[in-house]
Structure 1
Amino acid sequence: MQQGFFRVTLVAAALALVACGEAPQDLTGQGVKQDGAPYAGVGSSQYAQTGWKVGDKASWEQQLKARAQYGQNDYTRMGTQP
């Protein structure tokens, strides 16, 4: 009985120590390209909204506000108010 308890305790201690040895998971040094600013565009203006100027943050924010107000607000799209 004493030996069984000792073995179980030894295995539990070994598992606890193995769990502490995990390697850090970070992106530095792996050649990962970070995203640029969303208002910088993708280089092609083929799919760009009219009125938006590539690289202009204020214009980008204005387009997002307009899209949220007129394109995604069901009350203004249907012409009914709550």
Structure 2
Amino acid sequence: MIQRFTLTIAAAALTLGLAACGDQPQEMNGAGVKQDGAPYTGVGKSQYAQGGWSVGDKASWEQQLKARAQYGQNDYTRMSK
């Protein structure tokens, strides 16, 4: 009885071990990698866009990032004295 139980457990472990080896490779099916556009190109007209920058203008985009980093995210300039 114990020998039969041990044999059954061993057979189940062997079956599960071999089933793990049957994983098929996953491929992109020729779709390739999609490249994102430059961040300063924007998404067109949006009510959430910050005023003061033009879509596609890299210089105005960088200026807005500097202003936001200085005034909006810098805790030292936001603290009252």
Identity score, percent = 63
Tell me by how many angstroms 1:30 deviates. 8.8
Read off the aligned partner of 1:3 and give its amino acid letter.
R
1:1-82 correspondence runs (5 A): 1-25=2-26, 28-29=28-29, 34=34, 35-44=36-45, 46-80=47-81
Question: Please, what TM-score do these two structures have when normalized by structure 1?
Answer: 0.60
CA distance in 1, matches of 2:67, 2:78: 12
Alpha-carbon spacing, 1:24–1:44, altered in 2? closer, same or farther (3 Å): farther
Deviation per residue, 1:14-52 (Å, 9 max, x gap): 1122223334455x2497x94433222111154432332
Task: Give structure 1 stretches of 5+ with no counterpart.
Answer: none
- Tell which structure's C-alpha radius of gyration is larger: 2
Task: Give structure 2 stretches of 5+ with no counterpart.
Answer: none
CA distance in 1, matches of 2:13, 2:6: 11
CA distance in 1, matches of 2:24, 2:58: 39
Task: Give the aligned CA root-mean-square deviation in angstroms.
Answer: 3.0
- Give the paired residue count: 78
CA distance in 1, matches of 2:57, 2:17: 53
